[in-house]
A and B are shown apart, each in its own frame.
Chain A
Amino acid sequence: MARVDVEDVVKSYDTADAVTITGRPLRPPALNHVTLSIEDGETVCVVGPSGCGKSTLLKVVAGLETPDSGRVLYDGEDVTGVRPQERGVGMVFQDYALYPSMRGKSNLAYYFQVHRRSDEEAKRRTREVAEIMGVGFDSLLGRIPTSLSGGEQQRVAIGRCIVRDPSLFLMDEPISNLDAKLRESTRVEIKKLLRRFGITTLYVTHDQQEAVFMGDRIAVMRDGRIVQVGTFDELYYDPANLYVARFIGSPPMTILPARVEARRVTVEGQGWDLPDDVADMLPSGEVRVGVRPEGWALDSADGVRIPLRHVERIPTERASFLYGELAGASVAIAAPLDYPETESVQATPDWGRACYFSAEGEDTLRAPGALELF
C-alpha cells in the first residue's frame, strides 16, 4: 500500500523526434510543474486529450522517465532517483507490451525469475492470479502472445501486473485498444480488481466516461499541466475553467455567447431575469454561459426557439438528446424518451444551474456547485 505524491515535476522530452540535432527541445515540456497526490488505496484517473502529458506523468511515477525537476514520493519517501526495477510497481500498457518470445506463463514468471524467487512461488502466485482472473485465463497462459487476441493479451498483461502483489498500479490506457463491447466488460473487470485489492492506482485514459467509471478522483490535464483534480461531481458542477467544463460531460455542455446587463441576461436578443445569487456574482458585459443538457426547461413560455438537427434516443437511460444550434453554438438538450420529433423546440436554460465564463479567456465566473440530492 502506498501513498504517492508528485511534487512540482517538470519533464521535457529529449527523444529523437522532440529535439533538433543539437539537442534543443522542439516542444514545450511534456509535464509543466505538475503536482498531484494519490491517497493510499485511491484510484486517480488522469484524463486529457492525446499529447497532453498524461502518459509521461505515469512514466515519471513509474520511474521510466526521470523528471527534469521536482520530486516523486512513495509514502513520503523520495524515490525520484530510484530505478523502476526497484520501485515495485505494476504497470499495464496500452499496447499490452507482453514479451513476444515468451508464453503467457513465462510472462508472469519473469518477475519471479529476475528477483531470484523460487519456481514454486511463481507457480503458486500464477495459480492464484488465474483464480482471480476467472474463467479461461489458464488456457491463455500456455500460448504465445502473438496468437492471442487483443482482449486476451490484455488479460495476460493485467495478470502479469497483479502477480507480484504491487504496491501501486499504473495503467496507461489499458483498454483503449479493445473494441467497444470488450472495452465495456474489461472496464468492469478492472474495476472489480481495483475494488478487491484496494491498491493505490493511477489510471490514464483519454476517455472521460472511463475516467468517471474508474476513478475515485479525476485529474484533468492539458498541455502538460493539471487543470483540475476532483471527484466527478466537483468537475461536473464546479469546473475550474471552460476547458474542464467542455471536457467533462457527454453530450458536452452548450456554450452560449450572452450579455449580462442590469441583472438580466440576453441571448440572441431574448432576455431573462437572472436569479439573485447569480446576478450578484456576475459583472456586466459579455459572458459565455455553459448549460448542461439537463439544464434546460423544455416548452417553457419564455423559452428561446431552437431549430433541431436530430434527435438521439437512448432507451437505457430513458432519455433522448435533442441536438440543435443556437447563436452559432451547438446545443444538446436532454428530453424524455418519448419526446415527439419536431423541427424546433422552445427551451429556457436553468440560469441558476448554469456555469458562467468570461468572454475572453476561460475563467469561471460562477459555477453552480454540486447538487445536494440527499
Chain B
Amino acid sequence: MLFPRVGRQQWRVRAAWWGVVAILCIGILLHLFPFYFMIISSLKSSFEVLAFPPTWWPEHPTLAAWRLVYSLVRGNNAAAAALLDGPLGLYFKNSLFIAGFTLFLGVPITSFAAYANSKLQRGAIARWSFIFFIGTMMMPDALTLIPNFLLTRNWPFPLPTPPMIPGTSTPFPTVRIWDTAWAVILPGVFSGFNFLLFKGFFDTIPDSVIQAARVDGGSEFNIFRRIVLPMSVPVYAVAVWGMFSSAWDQFLWPLIVLQTPSKVPMSVEIYTLIQKFEQVGTTNAQQAFAQSQQMQQLMEAGLSWNGLMVLGLLQSLPVFVAFLVCREYLLRGIRIRGLK
C-alpha cells in the first residue's frame, strides 16, 4: 500500500495517489505498446504493414504471415526457404541449447558462489571476493567485447595469436571455442547481478540455522541441499527467469562469435532474415528479375514486416511462458529483493 488508507481523506494525498497511478499506467502502456504493435502488424497484409502513416488497427486482418511462418516451419515453402540458411526449427533448437546450458551451468555456479561468499567465507577474504564478483558488474559490456572475443579464439590468452613458449618456436596450446555454442554459453555462466541477488537472499538466512545443522552433523553440501535450497525457491525462480530471458534474447555476442549460419540462435537468424530481405540485389538482369518475382510472391505470402513480427512473437514466447510458469515465485522473489 503506497499511502495509508486513512491518509487519503486529505485531498493532496488523494491527488498524489492518482498521480502515481497515472504514472504507473503510462509505464504499463509504454511497455505493452511494442507488443500491441507486434501483434497487429503480424495480422496486417504485407502492403498495409508498409503503409505510412501506420494504421493502428489492421484494416484487412489476414493470417497470411502466420501461414507463411507455419509453412516455413514445416519446410514446404521453397521460395522462403531459399532466404533461410536452414529449417527454422534448427535455430529454435540452437536457442534452446544455448539458453538451456547457460541455465544448467550458470544457476548452480552463481548460487554456489553466492552461498560460499555469504555463509562460508569470513572476514577480509569474504569482503574482497564480494567486491571482485560485484566488480564484474561494473564493467560495461562494450569494454569486454573484444577481450572476450579474443579469449574465445585462443583461450586462455586474450590475444589475436597465442604467444610462443619462451625459447621455442611452438605456440602455447590454446582452446578454441570460437564459432561453437560454448562461446556463447560460457561467458554467460556467471552473472554478477544474479550473484548479488543470491547473496542478498542468503544473507537473510540466520547463521544459527546453518550452525544448528552443522551441530546436527550435516555436511556443508547437505545443509545447502536440505535446508538452504528449499528456503530459496523464490530467489532461484527470479534468477532462472532472468538468466533464461537474457540468454534467450542475447543478440550481439552470438552474432559476433557464431559465424557458421547453421549455428546461430533464433534472435540472430531473425536479424539476418531482415538483412537479406532489405538487401536483396544482384548484378545480373535475369537473376534480378527472377528474384524480384520471388520477392513479389513472398510479399504476397506475407514475408514482410508482418512475417518478421510473427517470428518476433514466437521468439519472445518462451520468455513469456517462463514468466507465467514461475510467476508466483517471481513475485515473492521480487518482494524479497525489494524489502530486504
- Chain A residues with CB under 8 Å of chain B are 14-16, 18-19, 21-23, 59, 62, 64, 83-87, 89-91, 93-95, 97-102, 110-111, 113-115, 160, 164, 170
Contact = CB atoms under 8 A, between A and B. Distances in A.
A97 B218 contact: no
A97 B124 contact: no
B166 interface: no
B217 A91 contact: no
Contacts of B212: 91, 93, 97-99, 160
Given A19-B123, A97-B206, A99-B227, A64 B213 contact: no
Interface in B213-227: 213-219, 222, 226-227
Interface of B: 122-124, 126-128, 206, 208-209, 211-219, 222, 226-227, 230-231
Contacts, number: 84
A101 B127 contact: no
B123 A89 contact: no
Given A22-B124, A97-B211, A160-B216, 4 more contacts: A14-B124, A95-B206, A97-B208, A97-B209
Contacts of A101: 227, 230-231
A115 B123 contact: no
Contacts of B128: 21
B211 A64 contact: yes
Nearest to A106: B226
Nearest to B205: A100
A85 B218 contact: yes
A90 B217 CA distance: 10
Task: Please provide the 8 A-B residue pairs with the shortest distance between their CB atoms, ordered closest to farther.
Answer: A14-B123, A23-B124, A101-B230, A97-B208, A97-B212, A93-B208, A84-B214, A91-B215
A16 B126 CA distance: 8
A13 to B, nearest CB: 8
B231 A89 contact: no
Given A85-B218, A101-B227, A101-B231, A95 B208 contact: yes
A102 B208 CA distance: 16
Contacts of A102: 226-227, 230
A21 B126 CA distance: 10
Contacts of B211: 59, 62, 64, 84, 91, 93, 97
B210 to A, nearest CB: 8
Nearest to A92: B212
A99 B213 contact: yes
Nearest to A113: B226
A114 B219 contact: yes
B209 A100 contact: yes
A297 to B, nearest CB: 50
27 contacts: A14-B124, A15-B122, A16-B127, A18-B123, A21-B124, A22-B124, A23-B123, A62-B211, A62-B215, A84-B214, A84-B215, A85-B218, A87-B215, A91-B211, A91-B212, A93-B211, A94-B208, A95-B208, A98-B212, A102-B226, A102-B230, A110-B218, A113-B226, A114-B216, A114-B219, A114-B222, A160-B216
